[in-house]
Structure 1
């Protein structure tokens, strides 16, 4: 394993040993609460909220997560997503898993599907995501959510939607100002990408955690065509993956943790349970307490 350190020198063991708030399992988890956050195209879009039991904190950080599935499948009730929500709630987070419009259900999202349609797919999913975030913030008093500590994340297609919503809002939304009051503390991406990393600026460069295989065959690790389509294919669309986004954050002097798996493919869109202690420690130190860390790990 090779480690690359920037700004601060520390070891992975230091990360795992830090045990101030939101890193230890302190709570049991209550029954999830299901809410409908929007109705679109005749479909009720729901989310599940998981909370720590007997938590007396008046303001709690929230993690809002979007499942993968190629915009064609998947569910907020996937075993891995539910397990992650429980892991977060045990540490004191309000954890939210969301449903969104699966606009490519029973349809192609590969090289035969035109690039403009792919952009529209990203836009609709990003809009659903932001509407779910806004819904939760509108209920911040009911769920005792701290609006200054909103962590968002996704896997694969969900990560693409989340990353584009956060970093490419001018490409995703006709009226980006609709969501201008939402502030993100951090992003958690599993094999995700954005349409164009050049749109990441000092103002929207939210700190992030990335997991990605260097040979991902669907979502590029660095900069490459979506699904590695040939240039003459209808679905040819260049994307900037985790490596490219991390490089942009580095240039902007923003924090990130990039876990890259040499030779790994799209399986690294799965929840990295083996590394969650490190992930939650980074959340705590950087997203919640503002430390500045730039870390790359090549496995």
Structure 2
């Protein structure tokens, strides 16, 4: 009987698939740790760090995410962002949500706000984002972060800041050399865009995951004016959205995963929980293991 029970246990064990780090929910999550990464214009800029509980790994890949809100609102503590960070940490990542200067708080960021001001808004947010990443890299040992495995992402305004920092650093950062030690492996963009995709070159062609509605009326899916402003409006500013960025990555033989939502508008700036298994699979295969994949999915 003892040998029979041992055999049954071994048989059942073999039928159970092994859990895989970065794909499966292996860990519980420790309470978030809040830090101040910079103080600007009299404001303490904070970030929340989510880590896997009882994880013995000496260094873990890092995901840094920047919330949306039109540079006037939004919060790093939004329930969807907390849920996303916790899901990432359960898989073995260190996940971070950051706050940044909301320079348009209480003000318009639409067609009545001049284009030059929009560029300046992008620049300040991109700088805040890079300073947050720099803080985390500097404290990599403290939080057991692998500084060679960094994934960055954002939603809407946050995605604009992140994509511009990664793909348009010459336009966005006054001191780009200040961040030369930061090694970004991948971007995760929810309804984001850049000022000019022509600045995307083989040197900064970071692989990316992109979600975008084809009829987004705020941030263009391909190449169109920001907020669909008419020519001559103060806020008329052409931007290159996900489709245009992906076309450039394809030309540069760089990996990407593009989810296009036919007829979708700006609601696709939300965290795509229904697709996260595929997203984390791409993270592992491409961002962490350097596989070459170019994929487009239509919904």
Q: Any idea what SS the aligned residue of 1:31 has?
A: coil
Cα deviations across residues 184-221 of structure 1 (Å, max 9, x unaligned)? 01000000000000000001000000000000010000
Q: Any idea what SS the aligned residue of 2:276 has?
A: helix
2:112–2:235: 8 Å Cα contact kept in structure 1?
A: yes
Task: List 4+ stretches of structure 1 deviating above 6 A.
Answer: none
Matched, 1:125 2:125: yes
Q: Any idea what SS the aligned residue of 1:258 has?
A: strand
Matched, 1:242 2:242: yes
Q: Any idea what SS the aligned residue of 2:184 has?
A: coil
Deviation at 1:296, TM superposition (A): 0.5
**Within 5 Å, which residues of 2 pair with 1:188-207?**
188-207=188-207
Matched, 1:296 2:296: yes
CA distance in 2: counterparts of 1:56 and 1:257, whole angstroms:
31
Point out the more displaced range, 41-50 or 171-180.
171-180
Cα deviations across residues 1-22 of structure 1 (Å, max 9, x unaligned)? xxxxxxxxxxxxxxxx997430
TM-score by length of 2: 0.93
2:154–2:160: 8 Å Cα contact kept in structure 1?
A: yes
CA distance in 1: counterparts of 2:42 and 2:262, whole angstroms:
43
CA distance in 1: counterparts of 2:253 and 2:19, whole angstroms:
26
The residue number in structure 1 matching 2:184 is 184
CA distance in 1: counterparts of 2:215 and 2:181, whole angstroms:
37
Q: Any idea what SS the aligned residue of 1:23 has?
A: coil
The residue number in structure 1 matching 2:230 is 230
2:19–2:26: 8 Å Cα contact kept in structure 1?
A: no
Cα deviations across residues 256-290 of structure 1 (Å, max 9, x unaligned)? 00000000000000000000000000000000000
The residue number in structure 2 matching 1:32 is 32
Seen in structure 2, the aligned counterparts of structure 1 residues 122 and 18 have a Cα distance that, compared at 3 Å, is farther
The residue number in structure 1 matching 2:14 is none
Q: Which ranges of structure 2 fall in alignment gaps of 5 or more residues?
A: 1-16
Seen in structure 2, the aligned counterparts of structure 1 residues 54 and 246 have a Cα distance that, compared at 3 Å, is same
The residue number in structure 1 matching 2:208 is 208
Deviation at 1:183, TM superposition (A): 0.8
The residue number in structure 1 matching 2:252 is 252
CA distance in 1: counterparts of 2:255 and 2:49, whole angstroms:
28
Q: Any idea what SS the aligned residue of 2:134 has?
A: helix
- Count how many residue pairs are aligned between Structure 1 and Structure 2: 283
1:21–1:284: 8 Å Cα contact kept in structure 2?
A: no
The residue number in structure 1 matching 2:6 is none
Q: Any idea what SS the aligned residue of 2:127 has?
A: helix
Deviation at 1:180, TM superposition (A): 1.1
Cα deviations across residues 235-265 of structure 1 (Å, max 9, x unaligned)? 0000000000000000000000000000000
Q: Which ranges of structure 1 fall in alignment gaps of 5 or more residues?
A: 1-16
CA distance in 1: counterparts of 2:63 and 2:19, whole angstroms:
19
Instruction: Please give the root-mean-square deviation of Cα atoms over the aligned residues, in Å.
Output: 1.1
Structure label with greater radius of gyration: 2
Q: Any idea what SS the aligned residue of 1:117 has?
A: helix
Of structures 1 and 2, the one with the larger relative CO (CA 8 A, separation 6+) is 1
